[in-house]
Amino acid sequence: MTTIVKRALVAAGMVLAIGGAAQANEGGVSLHKQDWSWKGIFGRYDQPQLQRGFQVFHEVCSTCHGMKRVAYRNLSALGFSEDRIKELAAEKEFPAGPDDNGDMFTRPGTPADHIPSPFANDKAAAAANGGAAPPDLSLLAKARPGGPNYLYSLLEGYASDIPGEAAEWWVKQQQELGLDAAFNEAKYFNDYFPGYAISMPPPLMDDLITYEDGTAATKDQMAQDVVAYLNWAAEPELDARKSLGLKVLLFLGVLTAMLLALKLAIWRDVKH
């Protein structure tokens, strides 16, 4: 191999290595890391998984959480038909009015509506949930260190899922306070929530829902799917960005090859 070809290969290797390092930036050491479909330069969202994840959100999480940055019509990116989107939106009620008598009323949602919080305001949300309002989930996959791995760990991190010392400590703590160990009035033990005491009851259990595509709804499957959906919501442009990135890399590759050929042609007749 000529030196120049070797150098070109080394340069190409460096470009790939830098790309890989940028992909590998994750927070939190003790989180459960998952093999997300969208990781790596060739990674993409898995549409059937996003649809299942939305179903989990819609049937479970949306009883407490809103996603105000996602409009129902945005769900067409997940492969839902227009009719299905209309149906999904119509399942939620929105404030409207006033009517001719000056009264406010509610109307079913349309595809232009954004996924609402089920509570009238933050105070009502906090009052119904042991003092902590369920946050809007639109951007949480970006807002928390560890992103999707944190969200997944949180969903898997309730006391009943954790055999070890932490759970024992928690049970003792609760007994000393005279509270029911597993389900006290407001707080639940979660190994991944800062401070361990979270106001969200464990939201998932096996067979809680029936997947429309027939996938077995284990707790782990639902956790993976809903996190994929939450990641899409926070980063919907990821697939497009990666396609563009690959095109740029391809372009740079072709350009390099052409310049190399040009250089070889120019220097062909020069004696060493």
Separation of first and last alpha carbons in the chain? 17
| Interacting residues with ligand HEC between 85 and 124 (CB under 6 A) | none
- Judge residue 26's burial from the number of C-beta atoms within 10 Å of its C-beta, 0-12 exposed, 13-18 middle, 19 or more buried: middle
Smallest separation (angstroms) from ligand HEC to the CB of 25: 19
Q: Which residues contact 253 (CB under 8 A, 6 or more apart)?
A: 12
Which token pair is 57? 């959100």
**Cα(144)–Cα(140) distance, integer angstroms:** 6
Nearest alpha-carbon partner for 22 in 245, 254, 248, 256: 245
Among 64, 89, 159, 217, binds ligand HEC (CB under 6 A): 64
* CA diameter of the chain: 96
Establish if 159 lies at the interface with ligand HEC (CB under 6 A).
Answer: no
Smallest separation (angstroms) from ligand HEC to the CB of 204: 5
Smallest separation (angstroms) from ligand HEC to the CB of 57: 6
Establish if 234 lies at the interface with ligand HEC (CB under 6 A).
Answer: no
Q: Is residue 56 within 8 Å of residue 225, measured between CB atoms?
A: yes
CA distances to 65, 172, 246 from 176, in Å: 32, 6, 58
- 120 vs 270, which CB is nearer to ligand HEC? 120
Smallest separation (angstroms) from ligand HEC to the CB of 95: 21
**Cα(166)–Cα(213) distance, integer angstroms:** 37
**Cα(209)–Cα(221) distance, integer angstroms:** 11
**Cα(8)–Cα(85) distance, integer angstroms:** 50
Segment interacting with ligand HEC (CB under 6 A) among 39-47, 82-90, 192-200, 231-239: 192-200
Establish if 218 lies at the interface with ligand HEC (CB under 6 A).
Answer: no
Among 28, 40, 111, 135, binds ligand HEC (CB under 6 A): 135
**Cα(116)–Cα(93) distance, integer angstroms:** 9
- 49 vs 242, which CB is nearer to ligand HEC? 49
Establish if 233 lies at the interface with ligand HEC (CB under 6 A).
Answer: no
- 174 vs 242, which CB is nearer to ligand HEC? 174
How many residues line the site for ligand HEC (CB under 6 A)?
A: 22
Among 49, 53, 54, 56, binds ligand HEC (CB under 6 A): 56
Smallest separation (angstroms) from ligand HEC to the CB of 257: 47
- 70 vs 200, which CB is nearer to ligand HEC? 200
- In which region does residue 125 sit, left (phi positive, over 0), alpha (psi from -120 to 50) or beta (all else)? alpha
Among 134, 148, 157, 202, binds ligand HEC (CB under 6 A): 134
Establish if 144 lies at the interface with ligand HEC (CB under 6 A).
Answer: yes
Residues near ligand HEC (CB under 6 A): 56, 60-61, 63-65, 129, 132, 134-135, 137, 140, 144, 151, 154, 198-201, 203-204, 226
